[in-house]
Structure 1
Amino acid sequence: MNRQAVKAYLDQYKANFKRVHLEEIYKWQAIKQFQDTFDVTASDFHSNLKTALSKTSNLMDSGQYFPRRMILKNAERSPEKVRSLFEHLYDEELDRDERINFFSKEIKSLNQKNFGERNDYQDHRAIMVYLTLRYPERYFFYKFEMFRDFVKKVDYPTPPVAGRLSNIGHFQTMCELVRAEITADQELLKLHKNRIGQDCYYDKEFNLLTQDFIYAVVKHLGAISTPTDSRTKPGKVTQVKASMLNNQPEEISLAGRTVNFRQRESENKRIGDLGELWVVRHEKTKLEEKGKKGLVKKIKHAAKDEGDGLGYDILSFSPDGQKKYIEVKTTKGPENATFYLTRNELERSRMEKDNFYLYRVYNYNEQTDEADLLIIQGGLENLCTVPLTFKVDLKNGNE
C-alpha cells in the first residue's frame, strides 16, 4: 500500500472536513441505536430488531437494495429462526467466514420458503453491517465497490474479486493498516472528536472513522498527484537451505516482566501484515520481470483468502510453474531477531519440503517500504527446537 498516497488523501480529508464531515454521520447514530436497543433474547424479536435497525436506512435500504426490509419481513414471519441466525452470526468463538456463509445460506433458504423468488438481499455487505453494528470495535462497514476503487487509489496489492467471501478478510486487513495512519494523525482525531454528539456511538477504536475516510476518498475527494509504484524495493536478498541453519536459543529465564501484550500483539500484527503485502508485491514483481503474467494472476494471499492455520501465508510460483508455499516473518530489526513458528507452520514445511519457503523480511522500513530478505527453503525441523507453549486437553476420570 502506498503510504504517501494515504497521507496525501488524509491531508485532503482534513482540508475538506467541514464539507464532508456530516455526510456519513448516520453511521455513528445507527450503531448507537443498535447498541442501545438490540436484545437477541427479546420476547418479541421482530419488534426489537425493527427498533435496533431503525436508523440504518442509508446503510441497508436505498435505491434497489432492500436488505433491512427483507430481514424484518423474515423476522416477522419466522422470528425464532431469524433469532437463531443472529445468535450464530454473533458467536465470536466461531470462524467469521463460516458464520457469514451459514447466515447467507440459511436466510436464503428461509426467504425462499417465506416469499418464494423474492430477493433476500442478504449479501456480504448486509451481513457485514450486522456484524459491525454488534461489534463496531472489531469490524468495518463493507462495500465491494468502495473497496475496489480505494485499492486502485492507494496501490493496494490484493484487489477484490466480485462475489468472493475472501474480500472480507482483505478489506479488514487494509482497514487496519489505514487505521494505523489515522490514529497517528492527532489533527484529524481532534476534528473527528468535535463532530461526535451524544446521539452518536463513541468509536474508541476509530474503525468507523477509518471506513468514513475510505468512503470519502472514493466518493468526495479529488485525485492526488502522488505517484504509485507496486514494485518492491528489496535490498540484500539471500537464499539458503533450511538444513544449513541451526537454532541458537537463549537460556530460559524465570524473571517476571510487565508487558503491554495487547499493544505489542497489535503492533506485531500490523508489521506482519505489511510484511506479507511486501512479499506479495515482491513475488508479483519477480514473475512480471520474467514475463509470467499468467502466474502473477495465480498468486494468492492465502492467509487472508482462507484464514490462519494453513501453515503458510502466500501461495506463489517459480518461473517454471512450481508452487511455492511461503511463510512470512517480518521485523524492523536485524536478520537474527527472534521470531516464532507455529506447529502448523512446522508441519507444512515438512509436508512441502521442496516447495516450502520461509521469507525472513528484516530491516523493514515502513516509511520507504524497503527491506532485506532472507529466503529459507525446506523443512524447518532444525529451527524448531524450543517449545514455548503446550496444548492440554484434560480428560475426565477413567476415560
Structure 2
Amino acid sequence: MTSMDWSDGENDAIVADYFAMLADDEAGRPYNKAEHNRGLQQRIGRQRSSIEFKHQNISAVLKGLGESWIAGYKPAFNFQGSLTDAVVRWLATHPAWLSPTTRLPPGIVSVVREAPTLWIGPPPTHSNMPPPEELDQMQAIAREFDVAERDARNRALGRAGEERVVAHERATLASAGRDDLADRVRWVSDQDGDGAGYDIASFEPDGRARLIEVKTTNGWERTPFHISQRELDVADSLSDAWCLVRLWSFAREPRAFELRPPLQAHVSLMATSYQAQFH
C-alpha cells in the first residue's frame, strides 16, 4: 500500500460520514459539509482536498450501485476497489437503508390523492452516453453486486413506484379532460397480483389502451433492471399498447422515461437464470 492509498479504516470512516450527510440531505435537514470535513481531518489525518475528492469517489460508487448520492459531491471516477468494498460493507451493516419507508418520497398517500404528474424525459441513448471509462466502471459495479436483482427484490420500492405512476396516469388523463378514463385506470399488480405482464392498465387520451410495466430505482437513469420472460412476451404480443416506464432517482426526485417495444432497440437483454428440468 502506498502512502496515498486509503486504509480500510479510513475508508470506513469517510463512508460512514458520507451516509450521515446523505441521510440529512435526503430528509431536507441542514448540515455543514465543511464541518464534516474538518472532523474527518482530525480523525484520519487526511487533507481537506483529499477528503473532498474521496467524497466525490463515494458518489461515483453509489451511482454504480444504483443508489442516490449527494448532489454537491459530483461523482469522480477511477477510484480504488477498496472504496467500493467499504460502501458495500456499510450497506451490509445497515440493511434498512436499501428499502426503508423513510427514504421513499414523503407523503406518498397525499401524492396519490393530489395526483401530480411526473417528469418524463428521453430514454438513455448513444448520444447521451457518459464517457466509456465512466460507463465501464458503473456497469462493472452494477454487475458485481447485481443491482438489478436488488431493486427487483425491493418490494417497498417497487410498490411505491407503481403507486406513483398510477397517480401520474390519472392526473394526465384528468388534465386532458378525460376524467371518465382517469377513473378507470387500474393498478393490476396490486388488485390482481403479478403475472399479467404489466402493472397498470391505463389509457391514452383518445381511449386507446395503455399497458404499463413499471421499473423503479433510486439510482441513475442507466441503472440496469430485471424484466421477466412473461413481460417480454406481453410486450411482443401487445406491442401497440404495452410500454415500460422506468422511474429513477426515486428517493430524491422521481423522474421517468418510457420504452416502447421492441425493447431490444433500447437495451441489451441478457439471460441471468435458467429453468432446470430432469431428464
TM score, norm. by length of structure 2 = 0.50
Larger radius of gyration: 1
* TM-score, length of structure 1 as denominator length: 0.36
The one of the two structures with greater contact order (alpha-carbon pairs below 8 A, sep at least 6) is 2
